[in-house]
Chains A and B, each alone.
Chain A
Amino acid sequence: MNAHALTALKLTGIAFGAMSLGLLFMGLGRIVSARIQRRIGPPFYQSFIDVIKCFTKTSITHNFVMDLGIIMALGGLIATAFFVPFANFSVLGSSSVVIVLYLMSIGYLGMAMGVSASGNPNATIGISRALALMLGYKIPFVMVIMAMILTYNSSDLLTYALAQNHGFGSWHIFKYPLGFIAVEIAFQAMVGEKPYDHMIAPAEIASGPMVELSGKYLGIGFLLHAVQLYVETGLIVNLFLGGAQTWYIMMVKMFAVYFTTMCINAVMARYRIEQGIRHLWIWAGSFALLQLVYTRIWG
Chain B
Amino acid sequence: MEHDNIYLTNLRDEKQNMWTGLANYFRKRSMWMLYYCTGCGAIELPPTMTSRYDMERLGMGPMATPRQADLLLITGYLSVKTLKRVIWSYEQMQEPKYVVGFGSCPINGGIYWDAYPVINHLEAFMPVDMSIAGCMPRPQAIIDAFEKLMDEIQQGKAVGYKRYRKHYDWYKRNQDLVLNRQSAVLTPYVDPFASMPTAAELMAQESEDSHV
Contact = CB atoms under 8 A, between A and B. Distances in A.
A268 interface: no
Interface stretch (B50-58, B73-81, B118-126, B166-174): B50-58
B99 to A, nearest CB: 16
Contacts, number: 76
Interface residues of A, number: 30
Given A53-B30, A207-B64, A38 B94 contact: no
A5 to B, nearest CB: 31
Contacts of B30: 46, 49-50, 53
A59 B27 CA distance: 15
B57 A56 contact: no
B27 A56 contact: yes
Given A38-B51, A53-B26, A212 B67 contact: yes
Given A39-B54, A41-B54, A46-B59, A58 B95 contact: yes
A207 B57 contact: no
A11 interface: no
A39 B94 contact: no
Given A37-B50, A37-B51, A211 B26 contact: no
B65 A207 contact: yes
Contacts of B64: 202-203, 206-207, 210-211
Contacts of A218: 67-68
Interface in A172-222: 202-203, 206-207, 210-215, 218
A40 interface: yes
Contacts of A38: 51
B56 A30 contact: yes
Interface string A48-67: 01101100111110000000
A49 B54 contact: no
Interface of A: 30, 34, 37-43, 46, 49-50, 52-53, 56-60, 202-203, 206-207, 210-215, 218
Given A41-B56, A214-B67, 5 more contacts: A40-B56, A42-B58, A42-B59, A206-B64, A207-B63
